[in-house]
Structure 1
């Protein structure tokens, strides 16, 4: 097995196709939409998906930053060699797409200021720190991980949703409704400015900022629009009441669905909530099973 090459192919797959549940959700939205402009827009988005998949062109010019979740069973191991292969495969995949050059040159200050320009090769864009997921995880999206499991999930996260995302503390006041309604309000405000709706927003609720964001990323990797929880249906319903619609044109379809992942909590007056209003080319996800 050529792991590096298979990882490269996974990056291309994540960038150029969406999963079947997302396509079905979009098709349902087109059938239900009564706003003529919104229905036309959704049809154009579906055509864009099909063209990208057929031609292996990226779904969007913003090809995203690679995020990786390694899902591992009790009888498998993660080696330093595998981690190096993940980095090498991502670089190869971004170069072969080709992705958009986005890696910033320079030292710490120069990278912040973007004063030295960009690397020409897309593969110079390094992935975010790798997350490890095992059977001990306790959350809404907890996985039934068998002992021999070793899956590598690749997420390509674009800049627009990142600009509109946030991770903040919420005083829960012993009320789940207060926490989830605050998250919905944040998302509603963000979706008005996103531009690239319909969205599939994600919410992670944990004890720390790192944990909440990690829960959000796992929900994006594992979520399925054909299997939505009551909480996820509630979030989608409230956001669709905004009638922002596709590309802000109005209509019923502001979101196609949502992901809500709630992890461990601690005795405290606050819950840490992370929200991401994904754009209509996200979530871009692929999985490699080793």
Structure 2
């Protein structure tokens, strides 16, 4: 039947996209790093970017993770409303994660928030984090975006008064400046404006999936401001503190203005697969 997708297909697809995301980077990210290397004039900054690009090349050739921090696993699932699913989709994704943890392999990163007990397989209560969106058609698109702690820990959210929109720029710059070299720059900066407390954060994180070479004029202005900070690759100074800035917005309450900044390291890892669909 058109649109029917089985359990094993999901499991295998999750393993495949996890391997791709962990061992390679999207071409737009690589091109942005290459362009940054050409622009850099500081020898140390250029050396850091050369080392990053060499690391990417070695990881791809050897099929090993780009970074030892293979992150917590964030999934974005676009579910066609005509897709036929007669199994537990979430459990299938979890099974794929467990298999990928063993086969790639991935560092076990999922721990209890208080006891710090490690499940050993990158699954647990609420992890992996799966975000669902209903779409038209009968296909399922699954995107995985591993997120390391070094960059995630530097992210921030602030609930502004609606009259304080002129403070957004300073908040973004303050967040990046306070992060310094900790998130392994050059970074990608995702900004979520509007919605609710959690919606702004979700918008900021989702924006990290956008093409690093495709920015609006507003986003390029933020990028120029961030790069003027001079933090540079790995925090050692230089012209490239960030590769890209992406902004997503949502309508919000008349009395509220949430703003979230989600920072991603240079290893902006993500990969997708589309399953099923009409013949």
- Shorter chain as normaliser: what TM range? 0.7 to 0.9
- Counterpart for residue 276 of structure 1: 262
Query: Over aligned residues, Cα RMSD in angstroms?
Result: 2.1
- Deviation at residue 149 of structure 1 after TM alignment: 4.1
For 1:147-166, what aligned pairs fall within 5 Å after superposition?
147-166=137-156
Q: 2:3 — aligned with what?
A: none
**Is it true that 1:112 corresponds to 2:114 in the alignment?**
yes
Question: 2-side partners of 1:26 and 1:74: how far apart?
Answer: 38
Matched, 1:235 2:222: yes
How far is the alpha carbon of 1:76 from its aligned partner? 3.0
Question: Structure 1 residues 59, 241: CA separation in 2 closer, same or farther (over 3 Å shift)?
Answer: same
Q: Map of 1:64-213 to 2, 5 A cutoff?
A: 64-76=71-83, 80-104=87-111, 111-114=113-116, 117-119=117-119, 121-124=120-123, 127-134=127-134, 146-173=136-163, 175=165, 177-190=166-179, 192-194=180-182, 196-213=184-201
Note closer, same or farther for the CA distance 1:43–1:249 as it changes in structure 2 (3 Å cut): same
Structure 1 residues not aligned, in runs of 5+? 106-110, 136-145
Q: Structure 2: how far apart are the matches of 1:147 and 1:104? A: 37
- TM-score, reference length from structure 2: 0.88
Normalising by structure 1, report the TM-score: 0.85
Give the total of aligned pairs: 267
1:264 aligns with 2:251: yes
CA distance in 1, matches of 2:162, 2:182: 27
- Bigger fraction of residues in strand: 2
What is the aligned partner in structure 2 of residue 44 from structure 1?
A: 51
| Kept in 1: contact 2:84–2:138 (CA 8 A) | no
2:60 to 45, 53, 60: 53
